[in-house]
Amino acid sequence: MPKSRKSGRSPFVLIALLFFWSIIAGWGLAQAHQLPLSRFPHLADSTLNSSRPLESSPTTISLEPLSPSLELGRQYYFENCTSCHVALPPIVLPTETWRELLLDSQHYGVTLNLPRGPVLKAIWMFLNQGSRAYREDETIPFRIAQSRFFKALHPKVNFTSPPTASSCINCHIGTKEFDYQRLSSEWENSP
């Protein structure tokens, strides 16, 4: 009498399918957290060219270490924004504010020649990584005084006038080096 063969799939096949499904699901979730480049149509075909030399920055930007592409974005952001005002940390404004600022050449009453292509993409990657989403029920703030993130970072500070990008230097003496950790002696031991 012939032996009955147990029908079924090999556990190896099941494990392999589960492994590949996990890889694809993880990749899909990672992509879901990024703003699609379709929101930046002029960037869709561009890629970062990390071999392009940067102009040397007059100061060292002292913040936590970043990946090379984010560091490049931070340097481009610093170079493009500090000619008129201090470069604000991305965390003080929501991601949507940064997106709108990068897409609109009308910048607080001044017409800007916005960076394009790989430079804009690098700046966007840095700002997107360092900022947070806004709530659907709130208006997108375009001034730091309106930003709940800015207010959360300054909970016990009583401002005598609405804070602006230019007034940060009054307390944060390292703003020209993009260092918001260093405070003036007046604020060093404040709550």
| 145 inside domain | yes
Give pLDDT, residue 29: 60
Q: In degrees rounded to 5, what are phi and psi of residue 94? A: -70, 160
Q: Which spans in 1-67 are helix H?
A: 11-32
Is 32 within a domain? no
> What burial class does residue 39 get, using C-beta atoms within 10 Å of its C-beta: 0-12 exposed, 13-18 middle, 19+ buried?
exposed
Residue 119 within a domain: yes
Q: Is residue 178 part of a domain?
A: yes
Measured CA angle at 47 (ends 110, 142), to 5 deg: 30
Please report whether residue 7 resides in a domain.
Answer: no
Mean pLDDT, consecutive 10-residue stretches, the chain (191 aa), reads 60 83 72 48 39 35 70 89 84 91 84 87 92 87 88 87 85 83 80 58
Domain count for the chain, please give it: 1
φ, ψ of residue 59 to 5 degrees: the values are: -135, 165
Domain membership of residue 151 (yes or no) is yes
Cα–Cα distance measured from residue 180 to residue 175, given in angstroms and rounded to the nearest whole number: 6
Within-domain flag for 25: no
| Residue span of the structural domain in which 167 resides | 41-46+59-188
Task: With respect to residue 27, please indicate whether it lies within any of the assigned structural domains.
Answer: no
